[in-house]
């Protein structure tokens, strides 16, 4: 029985009349009139409109559209097209800065605008500061100095109080129309109250008083590692909770059924008012983290934590949870991580929480030169970066007076929201790949805006680098659309081939009087035909044709060739054509039955049609000299 020649037996197969190989076996073709070899791209199957991720994208155009016209779902979505995606993913994005994705003009359609700037209204020298709002009067402490503002934070003045010299203010609490102050010097302390008329009265001086909170119409005060009820006058009750040595209380909030108090021992304590006395009724442990702040909003409890690292790095986290009760014990359940901040060398801990009708705010130091408020939007459960302070410090207090936000940055100052818009802001959409790893041909892009004025512009940058989402200044961002006037909507032609597309929208307001209003963007892509189909007429006769030599007959050679081809049907193979030079990796799609060629003229040539579908691979030229490193030593005369 004849056998087939292998690649290892022939250093130059083409010279011996072989036209191609499948894996390591060599074959001759039967190309001739009516028996042509064809190489063509595989037809691209155009998929139907996918409304799972982009319900707004109905189009009769070929290709697929990636677009977004609502970003109220918040940040931190790192892939637009996930197999296990959430229905809310169509309203989420990756990151933003200095743009408002939640609010919109009342009575108008959704749009994204620039946020307002903030400015420092009062300098603070100390890293320890506290804030309280009594009516519309704002109090802020700076070490042992107390400031107040009666115009919403525009102007500040020093308050004359009766604190003992050298006592640092440790806590402020608004209680009715009074301000309560705790202060100490590490070995002695006092509690004072301050009336709206400016009268300061010392109430207690028997202990080293630390934090003070007003909850459920009652005052509680911490002394060292113990928490006590305080009647607001001259009586401090017995300890309600005593922490391990060296631990302190950090925050308290009225959570409806109970008061929740946080501490550095990683626990949240539940205090219930039992016939006028706050009593411990449960605790929740947050393992491995220190709880720094807490607030309740619309029945949901939010709390911040920090995880200490070596050096100056502190990991910050924001959680939400539900308050549950069993056997008269109140604990937090269904704890869910909302956001984690983790930057080397930075204290990213959230140290204050503030709630409004529809949102919860916290403050984060993100670098040595910038700190931000972050907003969690209750209607969509989305979170995004919000107001910016050009100062690198922890945000310890947040308040809102006269519809303007105020917050303190440690060792820097009190920052207030202004009526001036940011000059520039950006939003980075999640990368999109249309649920396939294949490269796509991106052909056009456009953005929609409300009519622009006052030299405002909206720009669309694109990148095909997935990691570009991590850096708004990455070198791969290319400006593709720049709307200077009108409402946009005009498509710009693209010439990009890649798996992913990432979009960054930049809003600019040179005069900062008003903001451009961005509505939507879209990018259209076409599938690229990466598969090719090769059909080769294969000589399966017993007659062997060789260049410049007489043909010979090898009995049963044709049957051997045909059977070897049939064995490869449906199998993964590597096909190499010698002329034209092609290497294809794929599968043998089918083998036709033997056909006798030209029976009318008595030809005995038989051939079968071999069909291979696969992808092109890199080809290498034949080595014509042995004076190449490794060729003589290993006897390798062909690459590929």
Cα distances from 128 to residues 393, 408, 413, in angstroms, run 11, 10, 11
Torsion of Cα atoms, 629 then 631 then 632 then 636, to 10° = 170
pTM comes to 0.82
Highest mean pLDDT among 35-44, 76-85, 261-270, 607-616: 261-270
Provide mean pLDDT across the span 460-471.
97
Whether the pLDDT of residue 364 is over 60: the answer is yes
- Tens-place pLDDT, residues 416-441: 999 999 999 999 999 999 888 888 89
The Cα 423–Cα 455 span in angstroms is: 12
Provide mean pLDDT across the span 397-419.
97
Q: What does the buried/exposed string (b/e) look like for 237-263 if buried means 16 or more CB atoms within 10 Å of the residue's CB?
A: eebbbebeeebbbbbbbbbeebbbbbb
Whether the pLDDT of residue 631 is over 60: the answer is no
pLDDT band at 558 (very low <50, low <70, confident <90, very high): confident
The Cα 576–Cα 572 span in angstroms is: 13
Residue with more model confidence, 105 or 381 = 381
Whether the pLDDT of residue 635 is over 80: the answer is no
Provide mean pLDDT across the span 92-98.
97
Per-residue confidence (pLDDT) for residue 597, from 0 to 100: 56
Provide mean pLDDT across the span 212-239.
97
Per-residue confidence (pLDDT) for residue 57, from 0 to 100: 52
pLDDT band at 333 (very low <50, low <70, confident <90, very high): very high
Q: CB neighbours of 532 closer than 8 A, spacing ≥ 6?
A: 39, 40, 41, 42, 584, 613, 614, 615, 616
pLDDT band at 293 (very low <50, low <70, confident <90, very high): very high
Provide mean pLDDT across the span 334-358.
96
Provide mean pLDDT across the span 551-560.
84
The burial class, CB within 10 Å (0-12 / 13-18 / 19+), for 495 is: exposed
Could you give all domains of the chain from N- to C-terminal order, each with its CATH number?
A: 7-43+530-634 (no CATH), 64-94+431-527 (2.60.120)
The Cα 185–Cα 168 span in angstroms is: 6
Per-residue confidence (pLDDT) for residue 51, from 0 to 100: 43
Provide mean pLDDT across the span 453-472.
96
Tokens standing for 264? 């550095």
Provide mean pLDDT across the span 156-173.
95
Tell me the percentage of the chain whose pLDDT exceeds 70: 91
pLDDT band at 400 (very low <50, low <70, confident <90, very high): very high
Per-residue confidence (pLDDT) for residue 42, from 0 to 100: 72
Lowest mean pLDDT segment, chosen from 190-199, 327-336, 381-390, 610-619: 610-619
Residue with more model confidence, 596 or 210 = 210
Per-residue confidence (pLDDT) for residue 636, from 0 to 100: 45
Whether the pLDDT of residue 144 is over 60: the answer is yes
Tell me the percentage of the chain whose pLDDT exceeds 90: 72
pLDDT band at 637 (very low <50, low <70, confident <90, very high): very low
Q: CB neighbours of 82 closer than 8 A, spacing ≥ 6?
A: 89
To the nearest whole number, what is the mean pLDDT of the chain? 90
The Cα 322–Cα 284 span in angstroms is: 12
Per-residue confidence (pLDDT) for residue 43, from 0 to 100: 63
Q: What is the 3-state secondary structure (H, E, C) of 574-629?
A: EEEEECCEEEEEEEEEEECCCEECCHHHCCCCEEEEEEEEEEEECCCCCCCCCCCC
Per-residue confidence (pLDDT) for residue 49, from 0 to 100: 43
Provide mean pLDDT across the span 510-529.
91
Per-residue confidence (pLDDT) for residue 506, from 0 to 100: 98
Are 455 and 511 in contact, with CB atoms under 8 Å apart? yes
Whether the pLDDT of residue 58 is over 90: the answer is no
CA-based nearest residue to 557, from 532, 530, 538: 538
Per-residue confidence (pLDDT) for residue 52, from 0 to 100: 44
Lowest mean pLDDT segment, chosen from 222-236, 321-335, 365-379, 587-601: 587-601
Neighbours of 202 (CB within 10 A): 15
3-state SS, residue 36? coil
Tokens standing for 333? 């359940």
Tokens standing for 391? 């100062």
Per-residue confidence (pLDDT) for residue 603, from 0 to 100: 47
The sheet carrying 395-401 orders its strands as 116-123, 413-421, 404-409, 395-401
- Tens-place pLDDT, residues 119-139: 999 999 999 999 999 999 999
């Amino acid at each position: 029985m004849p056998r087939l020649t292998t690649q290892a037996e022939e250093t130059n197969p083409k010279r011996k009349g072989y036209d191609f190989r499948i894996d390591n076996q060599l074959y001759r073709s039967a190309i001739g009139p009516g028996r042509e070899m064809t190489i063509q791209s595989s037809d691209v199957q155009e998929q139907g409109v996918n409304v799972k991720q982009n319900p707004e994208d109905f189009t009769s155009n070929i290709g697929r559209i990636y677009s977004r016209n609502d970003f109220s779902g918040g940040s931190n979505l790192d892939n637009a097209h996930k197999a296990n995606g959430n229905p809310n993913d169509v309203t989420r994005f990756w990151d933003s800065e200095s743009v408002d994705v939640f609010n919109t003009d009342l009575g108008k359609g959704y749009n994204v605008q620039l946020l307002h700037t903030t400015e420092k209204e009062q300098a603070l020298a100390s890293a320890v500061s506290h804030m309280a709002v009594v009516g519309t009067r704002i109090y802020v402490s700076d070490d042992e100095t107390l400031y107040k503002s009666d115009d919403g934070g525009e102007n500040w003045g020093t308050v004359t109080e009766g604190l003992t010299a050298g006592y640092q203010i440790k806590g402020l609490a608004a209680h009715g129309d009074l301000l309560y102050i705790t202060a100490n010097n590490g070995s002695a302390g006092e509690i004072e109250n301050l009336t709206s008329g400016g009268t300061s009265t010392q109430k207690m001086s028997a202990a080293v008083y630390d934090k003070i909170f007003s909850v459920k119409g009652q005052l509680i005060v911490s002394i060292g590692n113990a928490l006590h009820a305080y009647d607001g006058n001259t009586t401090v009750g017995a300890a309600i909770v005593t922490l391990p040595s060296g631990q302190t209380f950090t925050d308290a909030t009225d959570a409806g059924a109970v008061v929740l108090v946080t501490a550095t021992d990683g626990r949240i304590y539940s205090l219930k008012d039992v016939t006028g006395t706050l009593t411990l009724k449960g605790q929740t442990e947050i393992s491995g983290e220190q709880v720094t702040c807490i607030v309740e909003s619309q029945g949901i409890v939010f709390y911040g934590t920090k995880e200490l690292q070596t050096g100056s790095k502190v990991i910050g986290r924001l959680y939400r949870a539900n308050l549950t009760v069993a056997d008269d014990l109140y604990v937090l359940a269904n704890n869910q991580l909302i956001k984690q901040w983790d930057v080397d060398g930075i204290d990213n801990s959230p140290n204050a929480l503030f709630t409004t009708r529809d949102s919860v705010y916290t403050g984060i130091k993100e670098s040595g030169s910038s700190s931000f408020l972050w907003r969690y939007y209750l209607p969509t459960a989305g979170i995004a970066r919000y107001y910016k302070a050009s100062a690198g410090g922890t945000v310890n207090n947040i308040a809102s007076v006269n519809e303007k936000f105020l917050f303190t940055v440690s060792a820097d100052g009190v920052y207030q929201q202004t009526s001036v818009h940011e000059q520039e802001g950006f939003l980075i959409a999640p990368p999109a790949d249309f649920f396939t790893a294949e490269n796509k041909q991106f052909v056009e892009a456009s953005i929609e805006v409300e009519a622009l004025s006052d030299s405002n512009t909206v720009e669309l940058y694109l990148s095909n680098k997935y990691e570009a989402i991590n850096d708004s200044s990455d070198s791969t961002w290319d400006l593709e659309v720049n709307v200077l006037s009108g409402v946009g909507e005009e498509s710009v032609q693209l010439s990009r081939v890649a798996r992913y597309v990432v979009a960054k929208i930049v809003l600019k307001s040179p005069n900062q009087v008003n903001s451009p209003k961005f509505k939507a963007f879209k990018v259209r892509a076409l599938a690229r035909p990466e598969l090719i189909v090769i059909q080769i007429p294969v000589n399966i006769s017993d007659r062997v044709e060789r260049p410049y030599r007489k043909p010979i007959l090898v009995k049963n050679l044709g049957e051997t060739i045909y059977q070897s081809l049939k064995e490869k049907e449906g199998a993964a193979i590597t096909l190499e054509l010698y002329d034209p030079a092609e290497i294809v990796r794929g599968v043998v799609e089918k083998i036709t039955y033997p056909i006798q060629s030209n029976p009318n003229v008595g030809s005995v040539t038989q051939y079968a049609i071999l069909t291979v579908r696969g992808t092109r691979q890199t080809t290498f030229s034949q080595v014509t000299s042995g004076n190449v490193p490794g060729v003589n030593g290993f006897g390798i005369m062909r690459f590929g």
